[in-house]
């Protein structure tokens, strides 16, 4: 993860809360209850700032708000220039472990800032009411007087109407419900689950806190961690920000008409090379020893050569396409923007690009498990007509031999020039170094850090290994976890695609939030003919293997959308909902696939757990990829 130390850097923590705030009501109306940890002393020793990393959990959404002077502003105008604490509350809350907790934690942080003045100019706190009908700008101004003080940037906001507020709540997945009495009258209270979002200068969410994990000590430590990089390092090295390791023109939220572009200029994508051999020598927490073939031992020089080949477009027939154009580093070493891949000249590939993270541990390769060695696998896409388009192995070898720099490197590393064996060895060595773990889950499960994931994610894990039985295929061992059984299973996705009758029209998105129903007959005129996909059957010719596909790893799963072999599911929640329905019934449906009877809350818990599998060195690997030479000319 990148750690920044820029003058005037501000990190935003976005707090989203539940019910209305009035401390007088707490003692007089509610029975005694156990106070949340945030009110007391921290019950464990928090990790020192800078000794851990906080991966990106996605983009912080924008929305329309009003300040206490009734000025209309966008939330994004308050993000990015400082580090921020933003809380959603309503001013009459009576749940001591709801909005009052969020405000109390911010108040404690405000007092801490007086003792740590070096943080004052780097932190902003924002509190937004989700009850705009009552909490007008005047009400929020009065409310703020009890908490604001000179020198600390704590702003209080509301919205023009509930209608204006809803997109913001929806984008943060905040389900705020009014509470009604038996006669159907609004009680003036709300039901809502407390969440706190840590947001950095790049408008990326870096942590999410619940009631049990919201504490000023841990929050301050997380803020300091994001600011920890020494000035000298920041001046000489550039690791990509969270935004930079997403798509170059990030389309998150593109389905909504409120979408705003988040394009990243190529000039901003400056890399920083790293020693990739360390992922072999000392695999991160959660992974075992890297399986390395006896006849292809790893070396720094060999990885470097494979890395250069991986990003070289000259390896394709017409010098336009590299391995990295399907396995895009900043998109999880897959492609977030296409359901299925596209090869040279826009040729259609019928399956989704699988991620290369932790590919060293895969026992089989491709969605149909047709290969078992990275050294051999590379020749599949190099020779495929619809991928890199080379007509023969010899064409690739002769092209590489004709590049003097490559010839010298192969002779130095292998003692001979490029050939079918040595080209495969070099590219495989680079791919085998893309190992990523030490995720929040790993630190919690294998490292026994109780604060590494929140209570909802823990509930999600309990479902993962229990009621939902995800671990039946996405297995977890005692001291390591690849989250795959390396097997092939029929979930019904392939059957549905092959056997269902297409509708006469399909929705086609033409602009943010704008869809047109277009006739499939018209689309067919400009599209390649769709070929059938029978999965593992195409390799074994065993009828029982129809529509079976390889179980993917779930590590870094939040970075590798869309999902399934055909990219047909776009979000993790859609994936959980698909399995909750029991897949798609067919004669070869895997016996492990059956309706799960999960509630909406349980689906949410699982969807929150899965992003905790993101490794903490993702940005380092992406930064290294950005530093790789791109061979596209002599």
Q: In sequence order, which ranges of 88-243 are alpha helices (DSSP H)?
A: 99-115, 137-144, 162-171, 216-226, 231-236
Question: Helix axis angle, 420-431 relative to 393-401, nearest 10°?
Answer: 80
Are the beta carbons of 194 and 210 closer than 8 angstroms?
yes
Fold of domain 278-436+617-626: Cytochrome Bc1 Complex; Chain D, domain 2 (1.10.760)
Tokens for 469? 């039985």
* Residue-level pLDDT at 268: 65
- Exposure b/e, 440-478, CB count within 10 A at least 16 = b: bbbbbbbeebebbbbebbbbbbebbeeebbbbebbbbee
Task: Enter the CATH code of domain 11-233.
Answer: 3.40.30.10
What is the C-alpha to C-alpha distance for residues 13 and 390, in angstroms, rounded to an integer? Answer: 50
Instruction: Name the E strands within 495-540.
Output: 505-511, 514-519
- Classify 85 as helix, strand or coil: strand
Residue that is written with structure tokens 């390092």 in the block = 233
Instruction: Name the E strands within 139-204.
Output: 153-157, 177-180, 186-191, 195-199
Distance of CA 365 to the CA centre of its chain: 23
What is the C-alpha to C-alpha distance for residues 48 and 204, in angstroms, rounded to an integer? Answer: 22
What DSSP assignment string belongs to 349-413?
Answer: -SSPPPP-TTGGG-SSBTTTT-B--HHHHTHHHHH-TTTT--S-HHHHHHHHHTSHHHHHHHHHH
Question: In this structure, what are the phi and psi dihedrals at residue 321, rounded to the nearest 5 degrees?
Answer: -140, 130
Q: Which residues of the chain have pLDDT under 70?
A: 1-32, 229-247, 250, 252, 262, 265-268, 631-634
Are the beta carbons of 433 and 361 closer than 8 angstroms?
no
Question: Closest Cα partner for 224 from 393, 39, 48, 97?
Answer: 48
What is the C-alpha to C-alpha distance for residues 100 and 106, in angstroms, rounded to an integer? Answer: 10
* Residue-level pLDDT at 5: 37
- Classify 96 as helix, strand or coil: coil
What is the C-alpha to C-alpha distance for residues 373 and 294, in angstroms, rounded to an integer? Answer: 12
What is the C-alpha to C-alpha distance for residues 52 and 197, in angstroms, rounded to an integer? Answer: 18
- Asked if domains 278-436+617-626 and 440-613 share a fold, the reply is yes
Are the beta carbons of 426 and 399 closer than 8 angstroms?
no
Superfamily in which the 440-613 domain is placed by CATH: Cytochrome c-like domain (1.10.760.10)
Whether the pTM exceeds 0.85: the reply is: no
């Amino acid at each position: 993860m990148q750690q920044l130390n820029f003058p005037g850097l501000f990190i935003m923590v976005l707090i989203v809360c539940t019910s209305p705030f009035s401390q007088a009501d707490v003692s007089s109306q509610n029975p005694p209850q156990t106070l949340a940890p945030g009110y007391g002393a921290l019950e464990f020793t928090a990790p020192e700032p800078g000794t851990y990393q906080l991966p990106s959990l996605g983009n912080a959404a924008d929305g329309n708000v009003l300040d206490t002077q009734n000025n209309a502003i966008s939330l994004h105008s308050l993000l990015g220039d400082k580090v921020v604490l933003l809380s959603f509350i309503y001013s009459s809350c009576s749940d001591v472990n709801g909005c009052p907790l969020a405000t109390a934690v911010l108040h404690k942080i405000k007092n801490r800032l007086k003792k740590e003045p070096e943080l004052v100019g780097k932190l902003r706190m924002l509190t937004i009411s989700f009850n705009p009908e009552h909490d007008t700008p005047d009400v929020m101004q009065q409310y703020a007087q009890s908490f604001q003080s000179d020198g600390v940037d704590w702003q209080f906001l509301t919205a023009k109407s509930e209608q204006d507020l809803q997109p913001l709540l929806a984008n943060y997945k905040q389900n705020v419900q009014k509470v009604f009495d038996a006669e159907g009258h609004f009680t003036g209270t709300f039901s809502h689950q407390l969440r706190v979002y840590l947001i950095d200068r790049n408008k990326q969410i870096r942590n999410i806190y619940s009631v049990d994990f919201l504490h000023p000590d841990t929050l301050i430590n997380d803020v300091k961690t994001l600011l920890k990089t020494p000035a000298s390092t920041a001046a000489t090295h550039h690791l990509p920000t969270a935004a930079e390791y997403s798509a170059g023109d990030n389309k998150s939220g593109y389905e909504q008409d409120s979408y705003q572009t988040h394009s990243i200029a190529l000039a901003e994508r400056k890399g920083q090379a790293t020693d990739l051999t360390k992922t072999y020598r000392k695999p991160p927490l959660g992974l075992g020893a890297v399986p390395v073939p006896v006849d292809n031992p790893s070396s720094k020089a060999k990885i470097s050569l494979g890395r250069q080949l991986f990003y070289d477009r000259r390896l394709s027939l017409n010098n336009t396409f590299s391995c990295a154009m399907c396995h895009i580093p900043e998109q999880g070493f897959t492609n977030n923007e296409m359901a299925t891949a596209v090869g040279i000249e826009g040729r259609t590939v019928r399956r989704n690009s699988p991620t290369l993270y932790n590919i060293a541990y895969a026992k089989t390769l491709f969605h149909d498990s047709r290969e078992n060695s990275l050294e051999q696998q590379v020749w599949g896409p190099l020779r495929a007509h619809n991928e890199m388009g080379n007509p023969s192995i010899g064409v690739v070898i002769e092209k590489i031999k004709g590049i003097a720099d490559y010839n010298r490197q192969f002779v130095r590393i292998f003692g001979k020039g490029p050939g079918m064996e040595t080209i495969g060895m070099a590219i495989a060595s680079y791919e085998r170094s893309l190992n990523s773990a030490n995720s929040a889950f790993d630190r919690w499960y294998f490292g026994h850090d109780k604060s590494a994931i929140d209570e909802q994610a823990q509930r999600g894990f309990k479902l993962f290994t229990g009621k939902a039985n995800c671990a039946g295929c996405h297995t977890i061992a005692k001291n390591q976890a690849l989250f795959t059984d390396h097997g092939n299973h029929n979930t019904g996705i392939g059957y549905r695609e092959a056997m269902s009758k297409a509708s006469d029209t399909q929705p086609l998105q033409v602009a943010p939030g704008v869809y047109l129903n277009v006739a499939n007959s018209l689309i067919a005129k400009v599209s390649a003919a769709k070929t059938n996909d029978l999965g593992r059957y195409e390799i074994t010719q065993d009828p029982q293997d129809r529509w079976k596909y390889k179980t993917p790893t779930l590590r870094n799963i939040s970075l590798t959308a869309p999902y399934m072999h055909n990219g047909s599911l776009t979000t993790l929640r859609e994936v959980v909902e698909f399995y909750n329905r029991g897949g798609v019934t067919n004669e070869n449906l895997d016996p492990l696939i059956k309706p799960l009877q999960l509630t909406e809350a349980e689906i949410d818990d699982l969807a929150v757990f899965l992003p905790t599998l993101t490794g903490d060195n993702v940005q380092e690997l992406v930064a290294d990829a950005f530093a790789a030479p791109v061979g596209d000319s002599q």
